[in-house]
Amino acid sequence: MTAQPLGLATARLIGLYLSIIFVAFPLPALAQGAAEALSFNQLIERAPLIVVATATSRRAGWELYGSSRLIITTITFQVEQTLKGSAPRTLSVEVLGGTIGDETLHVSHVPEFKVGDRDVLFLNNAAHSVSPIVGSDQGRFRIVTESATGTPRVLTAGFLPLVSTADIGRGRPGIIPSMSAALSLDNFVTMVRDRARELAVR
């Protein structure tokens, strides 16, 4: 077993983006029973930082909380674009869970990142959240290149093609749309930027 304590540099990077002013949101009723299904606007409003980024490394370490021994994974991203807020070119976030040696801590509803994953990330502002992503995993949008055209397209965290931002938070579709129907990354980025600007003006 190879326990690796979190490095000071990592902690500073985490602190950098977490230093954004915390805004408390009321906890609304959970419309779908298990999760508060967040709309496009809500994701943007709750995310002080929205980036297009690629995971470049991940490192697991132990963390003590009272008598509990938790595995925390620090994921480092290379930021390509910042759509809201201000982000360094290299950004690290923590997720609860991970693997050290033979032991794995699995945490439901917390997204897992592999090195090479490219996503649009709506990052929350809680200093110690179970997940760094708004809505646990709802604020993660995967970028997958459509093989036929080479166009980068946007999928939900659950790998469903995102056809419209109006579909966000609406629950599962009756029919899974085709990949070619998904929003292109360029369109999605423009929509996020525009809506973030509109919401900031209100």
Partner 1 sequence: MMRRRLVVALAVLVGFGVDAGRSHAYWYDGPSWQANPVMSLQLGSSSNGVTLIDGSTTWGQPAEAAMAIWNQYLDRVQFRVIRDATSATGLGNGINNVFWSNSIYGRSWESYAGYTLWRSSGNAIIEADVIMNNQLSWNSYRGTARSGNVDFRRLVMHELGHAIGLNHPNDHGQVVTAVMNSSPGNTDTVMADDISGAQFLYSIGGNGSVSFPPRNESLDFRNQLETKYRDGLRRGNSTTYVDREGDIVWISEYYRYRVNACSHAQAQTRVFAQIDNTGTFGVCGTASSGAVAFPPRNEALDFRIALEAKYRDDLRRGAGVSAVDNEGDVVWIQEYLRYRVNSCSHAVAVDKVFAQIDGRGVQAVCR
Question: Which spans of this chain sit near partner 1 (rule: CB under 8 A)?
Answer: 27, 29-38, 65-70, 96-97, 102-110, 112, 124, 126, 128-131, 133-138, 144, 147-148, 155, 157-161, 171-180
Residue with Cβ nearer partner 1 (86 or 180): 180
What gap in Å lies between CA 159 and CA 149, rounded to an integer?
19
Enumerate the β-bridge partners of residue 126. Answer: none
C-alpha neighbours within 13 Å on the C-beta side of residue 89: 0
Which residue's structure tokens are 């708004």? 134
Residue with Cβ nearer partner 1 (128 or 202): 128
Residue with Cβ nearer partner 1 (20 or 70): 70
Residue with Cβ nearer partner 1 (2 or 147): 147
Amino acid type, 200: A
Give me the least distance between CB of 95 and partner 1, in Å please: 10
Give me the least distance between CB of 180 and partner 1, in Å please: 6
- DSSP label of 184: B
What gap in Å lies between CA 55 and CA 75, rounded to an integer?
7
Amino acid type, 64: L
Compute CA 106 distance to the chain's CA centroid, rounded to the nearest angstrom.
Answer: 17
Give me the least distance between CB of 89 and partner 1, in Å please: 26
